[in-house]
Amino acid sequence: MKFSADGKLLDGQQRLTALVQAQISTPMVVVRGLTPDVMPTVDAGAKRNYSDALKLTGEENTATLAAVCRRAVMWERGMRTNTGAIRPTPLEMDDWLARNPEIRTSAELANRLASRERLPASVIGLCHWLLSAIDPEAATWFFLRVADGDGLAATDPIAVLRNRVTRLRLSGGRINETEGLALTIRAWNAHRDGSTRTKLQMPRGGLTNENFPAPR
């Protein structure tokens, strides 16, 4: 059993529940006084993921926050496409979160706006964080319009992004995380430029780290 310095149970909830239900007792090793920085490595092998570790430290929107932190660490390393080969460790994501606490606001917005008809929460959260570095109010407005389409002309890049994602969802398709990220950044850049679009195109030959769009 593992307890934090303030007496909070960090590990062993399921074992205790089983003992209570069985109405038995058993000797256990008890560790007390653990600090929050150990949580990413507590029982982190097969049973606990980063979202679970965040939940135990009192974070909110933990599944979305974990997904956004993973992509943000990859972005910081220059990895734009998600091949699955790069898997940031919990300690790396903890370090990134400590340096970028404002990502919590982006994760909260993503958790609120994401649904089966729209972009994945990880894409919304990462993009909102990236775009907020350019213009926080415009970034939030952008994603609200992706969500509701309010007042958009048919050729507004935001409307084109929204329609493309919606059509794919309704046809039973799945939004590829990397493609969704690139499409969102392209729509943002075009909207900021005041350009109109009838479609958003991907580079010939597919997305790479070299041709991936950068927000501006």
Q: How far is CA 71 from the centre of its chain?
A: 7
Helix (H, G, I), strand (E, B) or coil at 95: helix
**End-to-end Cα separation, the chain, in angstroms:** 49
Sheet holding 31-34, edge to edge: 9-11, 2-4, 31-34
Which pLDDT score is estimated for 135? 97
Rounded-to-integer distance, Cα 158 and Cα 152, Å: 8
CB 137 within 8 A of CB 128: no
Which residues touch 106 (CB under 8 Å, ≥6 apart)?
A: 68, 124, 125, 126, 128, 129, 132
CA neighbor of 54 nearest in space, from 108, 2, 93: 93
Which pLDDT score is estimated for 116? 55
Which pLDDT score is estimated for 85? 67
Residue 1: both structure tokens together? 């059993």
Which pLDDT score is estimated for 69? 95
Which pLDDT score is estimated for 46? 46
Which pLDDT score is estimated for 84? 65
Q: Which residues of the chain have pLDDT under 50?
A: 45-46
Which pLDDT score is estimated for 53? 87
Which pLDDT score is estimated for 196? 95
Which residues touch 7 (CB under 8 Å, ≥6 apart)?
A: none
CA neighbor of 164 nearest in space, from 141, 108, 156: 156
CA neighbor of 54 nearest in space, from 68, 41, 40, 44: 40
Rounded-to-integer distance, Cα 145 and Cα 200, Å: 17
- What pairs with residue 2 in β-bridges? 11, 31
- Please report, as a single letter, which amino acid is at residue 48: R
HSE of 134, CA atoms in CB hemisphere, 13 A: 16
Rounded-to-integer distance, Cα 203 and Cα 80, Å: 14
